[in-house]
Amino acid sequence: MTCVFSYDNVDFCDVHDLPGLGDLSKKFGMIWRFMPLADGTVERFIVRDLDSLIGWRERAAVDDWIASNRTFHAMRDAPAHGTEILGGMWGGWNRYNSIYKPARDRIIKVTQQRYKGLDQDVLTAVLWPLIQQHRDLISHDSYLCLHYPMTKPFPKQRESPFDFVGSPSLFVKGIRLKKHCPRSCRPPEHQDWEWC
């Protein structure tokens, strides 16, 4: 296996021997990326799909989350992003590990099955109720802001309809958003942003 190590603040861990968790190699691979949750050696983490590049617009949203003093960050940036927490578009600040460690342990236990979307179903069933209870989330949302709580517009406008968080830009060319974002999901000072 070849890994590219371009940044000092990115760690790759062997799932056969995760400190404090042991061998998770037989667990559903899509949940491995959630293991920084409540890890005492990790201050903040973001969870992304490997085929999605992080762009400036997404960086601005992450910076906005960090400035917000909220524990969790989620993003929904396309009409198809209709779930509470997308498996590859969220992050956390490990400051309340006593609350969230049991959630991480439960995520590990409930992932005996394997199917497309299981990672998001588990986040919705296990983590989302805690986030709602503590109201400790900032969620950037460009299309479904009226359907989910604790949302706000993205701080930067997308450069084109091909530019959205979670786009598999490394491997798939030409995925394009087809409709403008609703006015209700645009920043109040930028109601002219059709591709918000």
pLDDT over threshold 60, residue 2 = no
Q: 181: which DSSP letter?
A: P
pLDDT over threshold 90, residue 100 = yes
- Given the DSSP bridges, would you call strands 151-152 and 137-141 parallel, antiparallel or unpaired? parallel
- Please spell the DSSP secondary structure of 119-140, one letter per residue: HHHHIIIIIHHHHHHHT-EEEE
- How many Å apart are CA 82 and CA 33, to the nearest integer? 21
- How many Å apart are CA 11 and CA 36, to the nearest integer? 10
Residues in Cβ contact with 194 at an 8 Å cutoff, skipping those fewer than 6 apart: 180, 181
Identify the band that residue 135 occupies on the pLDDT scale cut at 50, 70 and 90.
very high
Region 37-42: mean pLDDT is 93
Identify the band that residue 67 occupies on the pLDDT scale cut at 50, 70 and 90.
very high
> If you search the block for the tokens 């060319």, which residue do you land on?
173
Identify the band that residue 160 occupies on the pLDDT scale cut at 50, 70 and 90.
confident
Residue 174: predicted pLDDT: 62
Region 140-152: mean pLDDT is 97
Q: With pLDDT > 90 as the criterion, what percentage of the chain qualifies?
A: 60
Q: Which of 8-22, 55-69, 129-143, 158-172 has the lowest mean pLDDT?
A: 158-172
Calculate ∠ Cα 148-85-13, nearest 5°: 160
Residue 1: predicted pLDDT: 38
Identify the band that residue 183 occupies on the pLDDT scale cut at 50, 70 and 90.
very high
> If you search the block for the tokens 């006593």, which residue do you land on?
98
pLDDT over threshold 70, residue 172 = no
pLDDT over threshold 60, residue 158 = yes
Q: With pLDDT > 70 as the criterion, what percentage of the chain qualifies?
A: 92
Q: Which residue has the higher pLDDT, 63 or 10?
A: 63
Instruction: Report the chain's mean pLDDT, rounded to a whole number.
Output: 88
